[in-house]
């Protein structure tokens, strides 16, 4: 399947932002605008401002890159999530701890 060159990386980022669910609607709302802008920038390969990275624009860009077609939005959403689960690598964990827990002393 021929896909956009940045689609795999965009799916990896989307997976990390959505805990592996690949549901674009999880990025809706003002508090997630920076996530959408980052994801759109990764997908397009250029910096995309938050004002141009609404959830509908992001969905359209992802669906176009993945060649998802159809008339019904729910069907396209389902097809995209299925596509992403098949193509994507395991998502990166953006909440990894920076330190390790101290080990306990043994022998007491």
If one compares 95 and 33, the residue with the highest pLDDT of the two is 33
Residue 83: partners with Cβ closer than 8 Å, 6 or more residues away: 66, 68
Euclidean distance between CA atoms 19 and 15, whole angstroms: 6
Q: Tell me which H or E stretch contains 10.
A: helix 7-17
Higher pLDDT, 95 or 5: 5
Cα separation, 35 vs 56, in Å, equals 14
pLDDT on residue 87: 83
Q: What is the residue extent of each domain of the chain?
A: 7-87
- Of the pLDDT bands very low, low, confident and very high (cuts 50, 70, 90), residue 18 is very high
The H or E element containing residue 103 is none
pLDDT in tens, 37-85: 999 999 999 999 999 999 999 999 999 999 999 889 999 999 999 999 9
pLDDT exceeds 70 at position 2: no
Indicate if the pLDDT at residue 34 is higher than 60: yes
pLDDT in tens, 81-103: 999 998 866 655 656 455 555 55
Q: Three-class SS string for 24-85?
A: HHHHCCHHHHHHHHHHHHHHHCCCCCHHHCCHHHHHHHHHHHCCCCCCCHHHHHHHHHHHHH
């Amino acid at each position: 399947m021929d896909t956009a060159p940045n689609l795999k990386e965009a799916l990896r980022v989307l997976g990390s932002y959505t805990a592996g669910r690949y549901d674009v609607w999880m990025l809706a709302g003002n508090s997630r605008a920076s996530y959408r802008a980052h994801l759109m920038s990764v997908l397009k390969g250029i910096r995309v401002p938050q004002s141009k990275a609404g959830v509908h624009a992001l969905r359209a860009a992802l669906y176009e890159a993945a060649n998802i077609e159809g008339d019904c939005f729910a069907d396209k959403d389902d097809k995209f999530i299925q596509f992403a689960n098949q193509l994507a690598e395991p998502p990166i964990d953006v909440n990894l701890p920076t330190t390790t827990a101290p080990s306990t002393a043994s022998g007491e």
